[in-house]
Structure 1
Amino acid sequence: METKLDQKRMESVRRRCGFSSGFEIEAESLEEGDFNDILYFFEKSGGVLREQKRMEAFRDTLEECKLLDIGYWRVRYTWEMDIPTILTGHRSFPFEAWWTMEENFEGLIREFWDSSFVSLMEKLKLLQNHLKKWSGSIKSRKDGLKRSLTRELESLLLKDRDDDTMAKIIDTKIHLNLEIDKDECASTRRRINSITKLVSEDGREITDGSEILEAATGYFEDLFASNGNGDPQNVLEGIESIISHEVNESLLSPFREDKVRTALKDMGPIKAPGLDGFPALFFQQYWHIVGKEVLDFCLGILNGNKGANLANVTEIVIIPKFHNPSSLVNFRPISLCSVLYKIVVKTIANIMQNIIGLCIDEVQSAFVPGRFITDNVLLAYEILHTFRQKRTGKKGYMEIKLDMSKAYDKVEWNFLKEMMLKIGFAHEWVGLIMKCITSVSYAVNINGYRGRVFQPTKGLRQGDPLSPFLFLICSKDAKETVSSLLGVRSSSNPEKYLGLPNVVGRRKKEAFKSILDKISLRIDSWSTRLLSQGGKEIFIKSVLQAIPTYAMSCFLLPKTLCESIENKLARFWWQKGVGRRARVFKAKYFPDCSFRDSNLGSSSSYVWRSIWAAKASLEMGLIWRVGTGENIFVFEDAWIPNFTIVRLTSDFGNLQFVKVAELIKSDVREWNRELISNTFSEAEAEMIFRIPLATGPHEDLMVWKGELSGEFSVRSSYKLLQDYDPTAYALHHIYRDFYNKLWKIDIPLKIKMFIWKISWNYLATRVNMSLRKLSTNYLCPHCGSGEESVNHLFRECPASVTIWKELSDAILVTFPFTDPPGQTIKVNFDDAFDERSKLSASGIVVRDSSGSVLLASTELHKDVDSAFAAEAIACRRASQIALNINRESVIIEGDSLTIIKKCKQRDFDKSQVGSYIHDIQMLKNRFKTVSFEFVPRSANNLAHILASETLKRRERVYLVNGVLSYAEFQSKIDYAREPD
């Protein structure tokens, strides 16, 4: 309860009312009144800033008392008055993603689509009405289900609480909560995001719903009206033509189905749809029904035969830039384009993404593949650090920080068109883009209601996939213009840039306190208190641990802050290339050496100290992949995989070689076994012989040994640090493999959590309940013959034994070999590997379209490092044999999905088998037509038998038009099976 009585009088009231518990909080000032403490900074407007410790203490108090902040959704601050009226207007059509899970929904769509013979846009409009009626019947059914579940729960609560009844109560509660949560979460979200008041430019307060909608429409109508700023040619005088004739030719090639399908596939399935209400999920899931008409519509626009105006009616929704704004200036407009229009412009944007680097300045980082926005964060910090260090000399520096207000909205269409033509884009390409930009019409959506439609004459849309690229092109000449205009407002010391601190002083924790506030805010949300253990795990991994990631990509966070974050998470869990950025740091801190040879230096910035602190961790994970060996020092570099001590310890004082290349016979691309055996110890020599050498030499590569791909990842870096410091593991090494496998299994999370609890004996068995003085009965309720421990419950109880026996019969599904089509031949490969001898065998079988064996071949290979390498060697051997047969069309099949994927890719493979994959890629270029396909083991049995028997018998085979006796039975099975 809340009272305005002072503490002394409250004590008297408590005694008279008989309250046995409670607490009093003194008023904030000498005057008596409400308890005006707050949980977060944004809950207070004006006055002196509240101390962080005081807010943390208040949050801790609420947590200890098990109290929740239920929120407040009307006027933000209690001293503001007037309650607004509800909006009226056209309600938007909401397509619900869960409809697709209804059993008859696809049939409903197909029946309607096949029976309608109007245009695509008309079909979608009619389908809206059809689905509204259908969803009404679904809602009635679900309301009936809620009532039924409520009655069932009330009935169960009146019964005796035996085990069966408790199980039914829990299941019914879960089912009922799921149905209720869908509606409550949506209602709560709408309530929180609703706009209840606006203040017009003349200071008038608007609370009527219709007036708010019209005011917003008028605001954006004025915002997107062109100023008619004359001829832009004088602004474009210094811009040079960049786009070449070859680039324009590639841009003007006809659009095809695959590009349209790729654009649709890349869209978020349930991201906000446009005016028609259909999200990308609808078109993705039912492409086999609607795809032909959608494809014809989009290609008609892209290839110049149709206008885009039919699909280009865009809804504007406004997102607040901060909590509870009242002026439209403080909202960010987001354009909800229809998915049909998005498919068109995303197809164009995917092409623009590949060439945007040609059109913009090197210092621009956003939206360019291979560049990151965090690059600019680091550079801004480094520049300001240099300013602070500059204390002597006559020449100083000046910083100009610009904030472009409503930048997208102010782009003049005429200027954009002339700019694209000036840098060299073809008229046809510019015409296609301008057709998409200028055919737009807008309707503002406030609180789910849509206003009147209007046509803009300038501006780019937030939410249009093409807008970021067009804006970058428009801003190309900004540097020259700003250089000539210095009449800008200055900022004495901008606290943040792109959301991160510009200057980090000695109080580092204070600089990053907003991270802890964000985590606290998400944890303290009332909805997170109701999560299950599995739900908490997902929330921690997906939401909470992601919050500090952005800052951690640039700064080494203080240890005390990390500990505070860990404490927060733990408490929540247990309660219910050398880019521009690198070049800047290299020029300043290590101009004459590599990063690995750099020193920390004095007066270094906090960014550089954060980066340099990770150097030791980086060194632990780097290793050379041997190509030519010209760049690798034998006794100084790490180049031997799977070796705990990567620096060789041989006595090399009198040796005449220093590079790995001198250990390789370059003419045959093999290790010089005699030289290596006479120089190194037996263990060292064996490890060197296992390093694969590509038949065609390639450059030496520095790779990351923590990942099989050779690419750096934060996850593997953390893993290497844990291996380096065994005390970092929370679990004993005996259980490490078990838990690694458990978390990787593709099963429901609640089952994983249940297994985890079993492994730690956290289940409420009767033995555990008795140990905690919660029960006096130890006996198993199922058999009554033993104590109900975890081991008894799952292994020894007769009921459990019966269940395990019934589950033990496996269902085997096999996939047979299939013949290749037409004149194509099929080459199947497999391997067998002996870990102890490091010997492997390759089995290759070649068959034609009738299934007849054309060739059976096996080969033995020495010094093979792993079964993975053995599979790659077998694939290389299969490629060599297929090339020698000299057929126009070849299919190469294997049962190693990873190897097949690597063979399909074009990029250089940095993994341990990269040398073999390099050879396969070189061979692949010499085929007329070749494809690599994955098949399960059951469809690859003949090659498997050949490899296994060869490893046992230690004999090579090369047999034309047949196989050896031990493989004849499998060959007949593959040949005699029913054709497809």
Structure 2
Amino acid sequence: MVRLSSIVVVFLLCVVSSYSANDVDVQEICKKATDHSFCLTLLNSMSGGPGKDLGCYASYTIDVLRTNVSNTINVIKKLIEQSGSDPRKQNHYKNCLSGFETDDGALGEIEEALQLLKDLDYNGVNMRMSALMSDINDCSSEDETSMLSKHELGFEPGTLHLFTFKNEEASMQYQELSERHATLLIQEEGYWKQRAKMHWLQEGDMNTRFFHMSATARSKKKKVSKLIADNGTEVHTQEELCEVAKSYFDTLFKPRDGDYDPVLNLIQPRVTDNDNVFLTAPIIKVEIQQALFQMHPDKSPGPDGFNPAFYQRFWEQCSEDIFSAASNWLERGYFPTSLNETNICLIPKCDNPTSMKDLRPISLRNVLYKMISKVLANRLKCCLDKCVSQEQSAFVEGRSIIDNALIAIEFIHALKRKTQGRRGELTLKIDISKAYDKVDWGFLRGVMTKMGFTDVSIRWVMMCVSSVNYSVLMNYDRVGPISPGRGLRQGDPLSPYLFILVTECLTALIHRAVGRGDLHGVRICRGAPEISHLLFADDCFLLCTANVVEVNELMRILHTYEQASGQEINLGKSEVFISRNMSHTAKEDLSRILGVRLVLGTGKEVMIKSVLQAIPSYVMSMFILPASLIDDIEKMINAFWWRGGNNNNNKGIHWLTWDILACPKTHGGLGFRNFEAFNKAMVAKQAWNIVQNPNSLVAKLIKARYFPHSSLFEAPLGYNPSFAWRSMWHARQILSFGCRWRIGSGDNIRVMHDLWLRGSADKWVPSPQPAGVYQLSVRDLLHDNYKAWNIVKVRNLFSGDVAKKILETPLVSSVREDKVVWEEERNGCYSVKSDYRLAMRYIIGSDKYHVAGNWNGIWKAQAPHKARHLLWRLCRGCLPTRCRLLERRVECILNCPVCDVEIEDELHIFFRCVVARDSWCAAGLSSVLHNGVYQQSNAMDRIFAMCSNESSDTVGRVAMLLWSIWHNRNDKLWNDNVQTPRQIGRYAFDAWHDWYSVHKLQSNSVSGTTEVDLVRWEKPALGWVKCNVDAAFLSGSGRTSVGVCFRDNSGQLMAGMTQWQQTVISPVEGETWALLLAMEEARHRGLDRVQFESVDRGHSHEA
């Protein structure tokens, strides 16, 4: 054991605070030239409670199952030797060893071997790391004053260095051991990252400590110490806790008899024969592969311990077995018992849970089962649009739950404004208790049968639903098995689609009542659709006339639905809002009949609590946040950034404004989010959806209410608008900057009122124009018999500049439909990301949005993020050198704290200080320091010049060296610790080399200068024809030309053609036009086996 500094002790106490003192042994392994010493923490696994199930963590997937099987076998042999007289451990390790040494790669054989990981956990990595660091110490000389041979590291003559080895063989061994050590670092971080479930952290230093503490916190939070049983008694022992959990789920999943017929008789067939052929076609390997790679690799494994990362990494090796097994199971009509076993993990909803209702059950299924389930789900969702009514907005492709949220907001706003009239109206928000868990399987089967699904489709679905066996994880003890008789598993890919099929029965009941006149929907204005209900997956909004008759009818419908489907309405969490023209007494009477709480006031609470509060991004998707709120948020984040998170009175120096920090990294910022621009981009997406889907329910309602006789871009704000429309109205300006009409027939595009011009920021035809032009459509400017501009007519109607813009707008004969497209994306579809960039340019201004400099070179440098960040701060003038502090009116001594000779600025501290210059030499970078190209008068220009002329590896080494120099400067200033230039140089090289080794293994590629591949024309295969196309643009002429040539498989020219057009288009559009002409020509010539290739891009397509 060694004495550790008090800081290290505090750190270790924080990390291992969940373990008793007798269970922890900490040993310093080796002090290497990196950020910290390596400490081996040995935890007594036998005192940590029950053992955990096998988890196939990504770190071990890389180590055990890819390249290091032999190393792992050696580790197991060492464990056998160290297990001493413990026969249980010896037998277990020997079984694992035989599993690793087998040649059979099937999952069943390697699973026994992988059980080793249950015992090794983090300590297995620590053991190997300890052995490696010992080997590194053995090959490294203790003589810190001797010189390293310049031949060994390839440095220039005269280079100073501190690396010392006993001999050349030791130097090579050091390199090999360092790479193996980097591999272990990845495994260590990967292990804790998976257990921490922090998928958002993508880059930076090795974050093992962060992930370890997160995993420890998650483990402590999940622990349940007491529960209240059904009889009201409080239980504490593990055995009693397990019994309470089992009893709860046995009751929850217990089936009950239901009356299906009154509901099922209302369901009409909706699935076509073609749909059934698609749904029941034999599965193919590509479908399974697609389903697998749609899963996040680090998702928690099921009972078998294999996570998605395992199957994704070894897809080539196990794909045939998986495909064969899946096909066999579906063909014979049942699964193996173990396949659909499911663990239920209990996540506390609050601190110190005391009831099972305080625990959120999460189903952990085997990935092998999820692949099959997801294949069926991917097929089913393609047919949902015709199976599910328009009132349901969740889980149906092409619909958005936000659409129904917007409709609900408009209705609540309308009821709030309704103060006159004898007819009142109400909205009832109902909450369904344990909606997924109580779905009746017989009812689900009946619904699918009535909708027209074949017996094969239904059998496959019911295999997935009914073959499940549960085990509850209570403090890591498995409780079970529990065999359910009803319910859908949340998290199963099929469950959401099956659930909304069940909710179609509620829609059918309501539609029948409306058709009979027993129930009336609500209409917010003349011309708007009448709506009786809205569905948000398992949440429901019901709307009707506020009278006793209709309220009783509503309750009868809900009761019928409960009896048939097994669902239960939770009246305690349901709420009703009634229009303001009803008396308070009448409102109370109706709420009493319904048995739900009456919501008073504005009614916004209903929407916020039921829908918006669940996912905060929904709020920013529908409402423009107040400027004062956005400003406060950005100020807090800015203060946190510059203060470093310390809650003290020192606010720190705000070197840059938030607007600058929010600029992209390529433009001199840090890419932080500008909330105003992001908020407007998200709201603009709703406006875009209304423009693109005019026949959707929300589009019809919004248009009828706010712009019945115009387009969204011309709509006035209107009288007493809702907050949602007010937000959309303000966001449409940003939307208009990137939108334009794509000309098809031209009938729907108004010349003077729509955005359709190309090649200019202003897409409107400018006013004033002759009176007759204002009523014209674009179709009136085309020839009658073919799609081309009527040049004479255009020039007669418009001035020279406007006529030129019109005639340069391209026309494509194959495009027949007028459609609004988004210019900022190649596919013409709106994205929040591209609109955010557009909004940033307008909100911040182009002068702040882009600052000149080779910022890309900084961020592409091969170095740790902290080193690249230092380069950015240096170039942005944000480093607190003494000259910079003086500029900020901070009184301080100006001399350099390291050499105490010259005034400290960026140029001095990094390039001119004697300690810095010697450090450059010690790090092997003297040639860069003295290069005449890098002798600019300020540090920023020097860095940019290096980024432009040196490889990313060299820039990375420079960045790491500058970080080390700055770190040494701060250590001297605040702690009076002094390092020699040799120590600084060694630290910089070692730190960079360690990072580079880890980064190389993680990315499987090394960035740097690569030779450009030569593009050569290749002959097509026998029997095929190759068609090469290209587009050319004559600058300033507004003319685009394309060329097409066909060659056979011997390279002989078969045909060629050229065409030009007086138009302004992008290079991508030019190549697309050329491909379109080539395809038309190939069809005209009767060629059916053609390989099309774009000359500039090298893209190849076969037809």
Give the TM-score normalised by the residue count of structure 2: 0.62
In 2: Cα distance, 1:404 partner to 1:152 partner: 68
Structure 1 residues 610 and 866, CA gap change in structure 2 (3 angstroms): closer
Amino acid at match of 1:673: I
Amino acid at match of 2:504: K
In 2: Cα distance, 1:509 partner to 1:221 partner: 36
- 8 Å CA contact 1:826–1:893 kept in 2: the answer is yes
Give the match for residue 475 of structure 2. 447
1:870 aligns with 2:1070: yes
**SS of corresponding position for 1:893:** strand
Give the match for residue 484 of structure 1. 556
Correspondence for 1:690 among 800, 803, 808: 808
Give the match for residue 222 of structure 1. 251
- 8 Å CA contact 2:55–2:307 kept in 1: the answer is no
Give the match for residue 287 of structure 1. 315
Amino acid at match of 1:868: V
Give the match for residue 466 of structure 1. 494
Structure 1 residues 766 and 149, CA gap change in structure 2 (3 angstroms): farther
Give the match for residue 197 of structure 1. 226
Describe the superposition over 1:820-842 as per-residue Cα deviations: whole angstroms up to 9, x where unpaired. 22211111222333323334443
Q: Which runs of no fewer than 5 residues in structure 1 stay unpaired?
A: 1-67, 75-84, 496-501, 519-545, 905-929, 932-980
Structure 1 residues 360 and 88, CA gap change in structure 2 (3 angstroms): farther
Correspondence for 1:613 among 710, 730, 752: 730
Give the match for residue 624 of structure 1. 741
Correspondence for 2:1016 among 816, 829, 848: 816
Describe the superposition over 1:689-727 as per-residue Cα deviations: whole angstroms up to 9, x where unpaired. 2211112351222223444433233344444444445xx
1:35-434 correspondence to structure 2 within 5 Å? 89=50, 91-102=52-63, 105-106=66-67, 108=69, 115=102, 122-123=108-109, 125-129=111-115, 137-143=124-130, 178-227=207-256, 229=257, 232-304=260-332, 306-434=334-462
Report which stretch shifted further, 788-797 or 564-573: 788-797
Report which stretch shifted further, 738-747 or 809-818: 738-747
Structure 1 residues 611 and 833, CA gap change in structure 2 (3 angstroms): closer
1:562 aligns with 2:623: no
Structure 1 residues 605 and 181, CA gap change in structure 2 (3 angstroms): closer
Describe the superposition over 1:453-502 as per-residue Cα deviations: whole angstroms up to 9, x where unpaired. 2322222111111111222222322353854157873679679xxxxxx9
Amino acid at match of 1:757: R
Give the match for residue 583 of structure 1. 700
1:710 aligns with 2:738: no
In 1: Cα distance, 2:289 partner to 2:422 partner: 61
Report which stretch shifted further, 89-98 or 300-309: 300-309
Give the match for residue 64 of structure 1. none
- 8 Å CA contact 2:282–2:327 kept in 1: the answer is no
Amino acid at match of 1:140: M
Deviation at 1:356, TM superposition (A): 2.1
Structure 1 residues 304 and 689, CA gap change in structure 2 (3 angstroms): farther
- 8 Å CA contact 2:874–2:940 kept in 1: the answer is no
Percent of residue pairs identical = 29
Give the match for residue 572 of structure 1. 640
In 2: Cα distance, 1:876 partner to 1:296 partner: 41
Deviation at 1:889, TM superposition (A): 1.0
Deviation at 1:282, TM superposition (A): 1.1
Report which stretch shifted further, 646-655 or 391-400: 646-655
Deviation at 1:749, TM superposition (A): 5.3
Correspondence for 1:660 among 747, 756, 778: 778
Amino acid at match of 1:126: E
Describe the superposition over 1:115-165 as per-residue Cα deviations: whole angstroms up to 9, x where unpaired. 5659x6634633533655786644411355689999999x9999xxxx999
Structure 1 residues 322 and 887, CA gap change in structure 2 (3 angstroms): same
Give the match for residue 939 of structure 2. 790
1:640 aligns with 2:757: yes
**SS of corresponding position for 2:430:** coil
Q: Which runs of no fewer than 5 residues in structure 2 stay unpaired?
A: 1-12, 20-45, 73-97, 146-159, 164-180, 190-204, 511-553, 560-568, 578-597, 645-692, 903-907, 919-929, 959-1006
Structure 1 residues 178 and 465, CA gap change in structure 2 (3 angstroms): closer
Structure 1 residues 709 and 754, CA gap change in structure 2 (3 angstroms): farther
Describe the superposition over 1:612-633 as per-residue Cα deviations: whole angstroms up to 9, x where unpaired. 3334444444322222222222
In 2: Cα distance, 1:564 partner to 1:746 partner: 36
Describe the superposition over 1:211-267 as per-residue Cα deviations: whole angstroms up to 9, x where unpaired. 32332123212221223x155334433333333344333322222222222211212
Amino acid at match of 2:230: E
Give the match for residue 759 of structure 1. 875
Describe the superposition over 1:777-798 as per-residue Cα deviations: whole angstroms up to 9, x where unpaired. 3434455998994157548999
Structure 1 residues 425 and 808, CA gap change in structure 2 (3 angstroms): closer
Give the match for residue 1088 of structure 2. 888
Deviation at 1:274, TM superposition (A): 0.7
In 1: Cα distance, 2:938 partner to 2:610 partner: 47
Amino acid at match of 1:713: S
- 8 Å CA contact 2:430–2:573 kept in 1: the answer is no
In 1: Cα distance, 2:611 partner to 2:488 partner: 33
Describe the superposition over 1:291-325 as per-residue Cα deviations: whole angstroms up to 9, x where unpaired. 11011111222334553533111111122334442
Amino acid at match of 1:141: R
**SS of corresponding position for 1:404:** strand
Paired residues, number: 780
- 8 Å CA contact 2:429–2:606 kept in 1: the answer is no
Deviation at 1:507, TM superposition (A): 13
In 1: Cα distance, 2:276 partner to 2:723 partner: 45
Structure 1 residues 353 and 508, CA gap change in structure 2 (3 angstroms): closer
In 2: Cα distance, 1:791 partner to 1:836 partner: 37
1:601 aligns with 2:718: yes
**SS of corresponding position for 2:851:** helix
In 1: Cα distance, 2:233 partner to 2:162 partner: 61
In 1: Cα distance, 2:136 partner to 2:575 partner: 60
Give the match for residue 528 of structure 2. none
**SS of corresponding position for 2:264:** coil
1:729 aligns with 2:845: yes
**SS of corresponding position for 2:338:** helix
Give the match for residue 154 of structure 2. none
- 8 Å CA contact 1:621–1:704 kept in 2: the answer is yes
Structure 1 residues 593 and 647, CA gap change in structure 2 (3 angstroms): closer
- 8 Å CA contact 1:508–1:558 kept in 2: the answer is no
Amino acid at match of 2:439: V
Structure 1 residues 177 and 702, CA gap change in structure 2 (3 angstroms): closer
**SS of corresponding position for 1:311:** coil
Structure 1 residues 563 and 178, CA gap change in structure 2 (3 angstroms): closer
In 2: Cα distance, 1:131 partner to 1:614 partner: 53
Deviation at 1:287, TM superposition (A): 0.6
- 8 Å CA contact 1:88–1:210 kept in 2: the answer is no
In 1: Cα distance, 2:742 partner to 2:418 partner: 44
- 8 Å CA contact 2:269–2:450 kept in 1: the answer is yes
Give the match for residue 676 of structure 1. 794
Deviation at 1:289, TM superposition (A): 0.8
In 2: Cα distance, 1:448 partner to 1:311 partner: 21
Structure 1 residues 555 and 774, CA gap change in structure 2 (3 angstroms): farther
In 1: Cα distance, 2:232 partner to 2:133 partner: 48
Give the match for residue 915 of structure 1. none
**SS of corresponding position for 2:361:** strand
- 8 Å CA contact 2:857–2:944 kept in 1: the answer is no
- 8 Å CA contact 1:686–1:863 kept in 2: the answer is no
In 2: Cα distance, 1:185 partner to 1:406 partner: 30
In 2: Cα distance, 1:164 partner to 1:131 partner: 41
Describe the superposition over 1:418-468 as per-residue Cα deviations: whole angstroms up to 9, x where unpaired. 222233222222112112212111111123332232322222111111111
**SS of corresponding position for 1:445:** strand
Give the match for residue 57 of structure 1. none
